[in-house]
Amino acid sequence: MSYRLHRPFVLLAAAAGGAALWTVTSVESPLPARSSDSGWQVGSDQDLDLLDDALEARLGLDPAAPDSDQDGLPDLEELLLGMDPLADDAHPGIAPAPSTYLDLYAVGEDLVVQVYGLKEHGTAWLSFHFGNPEFAVTRSMSQLGRWYLGFEEHPSIFPGWTIQMVRYRFPRAFFENEDTTTLAVKVDLDGETLASSTSLVMIDDILAQVRMFEASGAGAGGSHSEAQASHTLPFPFSGMDLSYDPGDGGGGTGGGLIPADPDDSGLPLSGSADEVCMQMLAPIGDLGGGRVLYQVVDAGCEVMSGGICFPSCAASVGELIVGFDPTGLIGG
């Protein structure tokens, strides 16, 4: 397996001794320049729900309404509590709990990362973790000041609870120069240590987010019906019926590839409409520092309204994806 240029993460590793993170002012992307006039703006949030418009567009949510499914529970609270913001699943018995959520979107030359926390009392600290198959680097908020875009705090719909959001803007070229990268946050909310993570890959010269999931009803090599899969898949894959068993050889781990851009942003994004590339992932190595190396053991296009399945989806079998295991990260 060959990787793309490792320059960004070589710099990250070199910075581990205390030097400034990423000591260059820019890194050239291996891809054509993106259009910055796609209509999306970094930080734009017309419904003031702390979810940027471009992120809501990526998730299929309504950028003009804080409660897309109109079930009485705002989209952000549902995401923080692991619910589906497009399903009428709110009920009076839902109780808040300290939780964190990390997501991202790409606009022009930027990759914007938004981190959220739902808390009742306070936030003690927050750290960022970056990794690829070769390196892992941890940075505090203050060490990332160069890419800091702002902090916001809103009262939650739950009385006495508060939602905090911090936003960072990184050069997307740092991630396009790698075949696979992962980033995570670890945070102390109300005295409880929590973590949230995501992974990125390059496929068909497009930067895509790997939205991983654990199919809880499937064990390695065990049977797992389509009905079971539809009940265990998280948003935005809720309700999907997979044509393969997520537990067959992958230990129940799967991932769906979603373009990091809310639209094609001027690039040709070909593929099968209303489908998504779903991959079955087998963990093949513990890389240390909470990182896990996965291999794609099965992949195919599955029906998903509003999605796009990459032409090279089936050919991604055998590719490697690096991810942070939140449990391992907290333990580290």
What mean pLDDT is reported for the chain?
A: 81
With bands split at pLDDT 50, 70 and 90, how would you rate the model's confidence at 23? very low
> Quick count: other Cβ atoms within 10 Å of Cβ 271?
19
Give me the mean pLDDT over the 306-319 stretch: 92
Sequence-distant contacts of 23-28: CB under 8 A, at least 24 apart: 26/171, 26/173, 27/171, 27/173, 27/174, 27/177, 28/173
Q: How far apart are CA 176 and CA 138, in angstroms?
A: 20
Residue with tokens 């990332």: 144
pLDDT in tens, 243-300: 655 555 445 788 999 999 987 554 445 677 888 999 999 999 999 989 999 999 999 9
CA neighbor of 178 nearest in space, from 204, 212, 210, 201 = 201
Q: Please write the tens of the pLDDT for every residue from 172-184.
A: 998 999 999 999 9
pLDDT, tens digit (0-9, with 9 covering 90-100), for 139-173: 998 899 999 999 999 999 999 999 999 999 999 99
Predicted confidence at residue 253, as pLDDT, reads 85
Q: Which residues contact 154 (CB under 8 A, 6 or more apart)?
A: 50, 162, 163, 165
Q: What is the largest CA-CA distance in the chain?
A: 52
Asked whether the beta carbons of 275 and 308 are under 8 A apart, the reply is yes
C-alpha distances in Å from residue 259, one per residue of 6, 178, 263, 277, 308: 22, 16, 8, 10, 8
Q: Which tokens belong to 286?
A: 């513990």
Give pLDDT, residue 36. Answer: 54
> Cα separation of 207 and 261, whole Å?
8
Which of the residue ranges 30-39, 128-137, 140-149, 173-182 would you say has the lowest mean pLDDT? 30-39
CA dist 12 and 9 (Å) reads 5
Higher pLDDT, 141 or 55: 55
For residue 308, the cross-strand partners are 273
Q: Is the pLDDT of residue 5 over 70?
A: no
For residue 234, what pLDDT band results from cuts at 50, 70 and 90?
confident
For the chain, how far is it from start to end, CA to CA, in angstroms? 28
For residues 165 and 151, is the Cβ–Cβ distance under 8 A? yes
Instruction: Average the pLDDT over each of 66-70, 236-240, 321-325 and give the range with the smallest value.
Output: 236-240
Is the model's pTM score more than 0.75?
yes
Task: Write out the two tokens for 157.
Answer: 């719909």
Q: What is the pLDDT of residues 79-125, one digit of tens each?
A: 999 888 988 877 778 899 999 999 999 999 999 999 999 999 988 88
In this structure, what token pair is assigned to residue 169?
């803007």
Of 4-13, 122-131, 212-221, 276-285, the one with minimum mean pLDDT is 4-13
Alpha carbons 317 and 312: distance in angstroms, whole number: 10
Which pLDDT score, from 0 to 100, does residue 162 have? Answer: 96
3-state SS, one letter per residue, for the chain: CCCCCCHHHHHHHHHHHCCCCCCCCCCCCCCCCCCCCCCCCCCCCCCCCCCCHHHHHHHCCCCCCCCCCCCCCCHHHHHHCCCCCCCCCCCCCCCCCCEEEEEEEEECCEEEEEEEEEECCCEEEEEEEEECCCCEEEEECHHHHHHEEEEEEEECCCCCCEEEEEEEEEECHHHHCCCEEEEEEEEEECCEEEEEEEEEEEECCEEEEEEEEECCCCCCCCCCCHHHHHHHCCCCCCCCCCCCCCCCCCCCEEEEEEECCCCCCCCCCCCEEEEEEEEEEEEEEEEECCEEEEEEEEEEEEEEEEEEECCCCHHHCCCEEEEECHHHHHHC
